[in-house]
Amino acid sequence: LNRRLAEFGTTIFAEMSALALSTGSINLGQGFPDTDGPEEIREAAVRALRDGRGNQYPPGPGVPELRTAIAEHQRRFHGLEYDPDTEVLVTAGATEAIAAALLALVEPGDEVIALEPYYDSYAASIAMAGGVRVPVTLRPHGPAFRLDLDELRDAVTDRTRLLLINTPHNPTGTVLTRAELAAIAELAVERDLLVVTDEVYEHLVFDGEHVPLASFPGMRERTVTISSAGKTFSFTGWKVGWVTASPELVATVRSAKQFLTYVSAGPFQYAVAEALRLPDAYFDGLRDDLRAKRDLLGEGLAAAGFTVHRPAGTYFVTTDIRPLGETDGFAFCRALPERCGVVAIPNAVFYDHRDEGAPFVRFAFCKRVDVLEEAVARLKSLA
Ligand code: PMP
Ligand code: GLN
C-alpha cells in the first residue's frame, strides 16, 4: 500500500460485518437495510434487463431517463432547478461521486475541511487526491452533536480548497439547521470556497427539515451536491448515486469519473428513474417507519444503560458507553459479539482526534422490528 493509503487498511464496515457473520451476531454495524426496497422498483430493474435497456455501456453522464428524473426530484422536493443534460451526473453510488469530486477538484497540498466524525471514505478520498484533511469536530450539546461555527471559521486558511459537508450526518444523526447552513454558505462565499455536500440521507429526517446547501444565496454555482438511491430506496447493492452542480463543476467531476468506472451499470439506472417518481406516500412511509425504529432502538439502548444521542436524521444512533463503565469504543465493539451477540461500530474510526471519539458507539436501526427487539433484549443483558 502506498503512503497515501497506508493508514486506511480494511474498512471498519467490512471488519465488523465479517465479525457479525463469524459470531452469528445481529449486525447493527454496517448501515444497510435488512428489507429490500419496493417490489415495483425491483420489477422495473428486471424489465430493463429483459428488454435490453442498459445491457451495453450507457452514456457517460448516465441514461437520459435517470438524469431527467434526478432533475425532477430536485425540483419537486427542494425547488432547485438543474438541467438534466449539463448539470446532472450519475455515479456508482455516492462513494464514487465523493471520490470523483475530490480527485477532480483538489490539488496536492490543498486543505479540505470535513466535519468530524466523518464518513470513512472522505478521509481516503482526500488522501487519494493528495489533499490534507482538516477536521472540525461536532460535539454533544444536550441530545445532539453540534457544529461550532467559530471553529469552522477558524479552520479556513489560504490553503483551504473546499468544505466537505454532510447533512443529515453519519454517524451522529445531526441535521444541520437552516441557520447553521446559512453560516456555512456565508463563509464559503466570503472565502470563495467550493463545497461538496453529501446529502444521501436527505429523505431520512425525523425532527426538523433537510435544507440543501445549494439552495442558499451564492451556493448554486459553487456546490457539488451528492445523493444516492442506496439510502432513499433501500437498494444499497445497486450502487446508483448522483451529482447535481453547475455545468462547469459537473464536467470537472465527470473528468475523474470517466477514468474511475467509465460509466455506471445500466439497467438499475432505469429502475431508479422510476423510483425517484414514486408518490410522496413512499417517501413519507420510509421516514415514518424509520422514526418508529429510531424510537424503539433508542429507548432500548437507554434502558440498557447507554446514553443515547437521539438522531434527528439518518438511520444511525450514536451512544455514549461511559455509563456502562466503559471508555474505549473499539474494545467495547470488538467484545460485544461475544458478550451479547450484537455488532456495532466504534465512532473513533471516524475521528482524527481519536480521544474525542473514544466513548461513542454507533448502532444502525434500518432493520426489522423483531430484529431490533431481539437486539435490545440482548443488550439489556449487559447491565
Ligand atoms: N455518504 C454517507 C454519509 C454514507 O453514509 C454512505 C453509505 N452508507 C455513503 C456516502 C455511500 O453511499 P453509496 O452506498 O451510495 O456509495
Ligand atoms: N455507509 C454505510 C455505513 O455508514 C456503509 C457503507 C460501507 O460499508 N461502505 O454504515
Per-residue pLDDT, 383: 78
Domain end among 227, 247, 275:
275
Q: DSSP assignment of 131-151, as one string?
A: -EEEEEE-EEETTEEE--HHH
pLDDT band at 3 (very low <50, low <70, confident <90, very high): confident
Residue 17 CA, closest ligand 2 atom number: 8
Any ligand 2 atom below 6 A from CB of 170? yes
Domain end among 240, 275, 310:
275
Environment class of 179 (CB within 10 Å of its CB; exposed 0-12, middle 13-18, buried 19+): exposed
Cell triple for residue 87? 448539470
Domain end among 223, 248, 275:
275
C-alpha 157 to ligand 2 mean position (Å): 31
Q: Which of 231, 235, 315 to mutate to test the pocket of ligand 1 (most atoms within 8 A of CB)?
A: 231
Do residues 123 and 265 both lie within one domain? yes
- What are the backbone angles phi and psi of residue 69, rounded to the nearest 5°? -65, -35
Q: Count other Cβ atoms within 10 Å, centred on residue 175.
A: 25
Which domain covers residue 58, as residue numbers? 39-275
Do residues 337 and 370 both lie within one domain? yes
Do residues 138 and 155 both lie within one domain? yes
pLDDT, one tens digit per residue, over 280-290 is 999 999 999 99
Q: How large is the ipTM?
A: 0.97
Q: Distance between CA atoms of 209 and 47, rounded to whole angstroms?
A: 35
Specify whether the CB–CB gap between 309 and 346 falls below 8 A: no
Do residues 95 and 238 both lie within one domain? yes
Per-residue pLDDT, 10: 86
Any idea of the CA torsion for 60, 61, 64, 67, to the nearest 10 degrees? 150
- Whole-structure pTM value: 0.97
pLDDT band at 268 (very low <50, low <70, confident <90, very high): very high
Closest by CA to 73, choosing from 314, 285, 277, 283, is 277
- Which single residue is written with the C-alpha cell 451556493? 219
Question: Is 3 within a domain?
Answer: no
C-alpha 247 to ligand 1 mean position (Å): 24
Protein residue closest via CA to atom 15 of ligand 1: 93
C-alpha 292 to ligand 2 mean position (Å): 22
User: Would you report the helix, strand and coil content of the chain in percent, each value rounded to 5?
Assistant: 45, 15, 40
Environment class of 76 (CB within 10 Å of its CB; exposed 0-12, middle 13-18, buried 19+): middle
Statement: residue 1 has pLDDT above 90: no
Residue 364 CA, closest ligand 2 atom number: 10
Between 2 and 57, whose confidence is greater? 57
What average pLDDT does the structure give for the chain?
Answer: 97
Total structural domains within the chain:
2
Protein residue closest via CA to atom 8 of ligand 2: 13
In 81-158, beta strands by DSSP E: 88-91, 111-116, 132-137, 139-141, 144-146
Cell triple for residue 195? 463545497
Do residues 249 and 295 both lie within one domain? no
Residues 181, 156, 113, 253: is their CA dihedral positive or negative?
Answer: positive
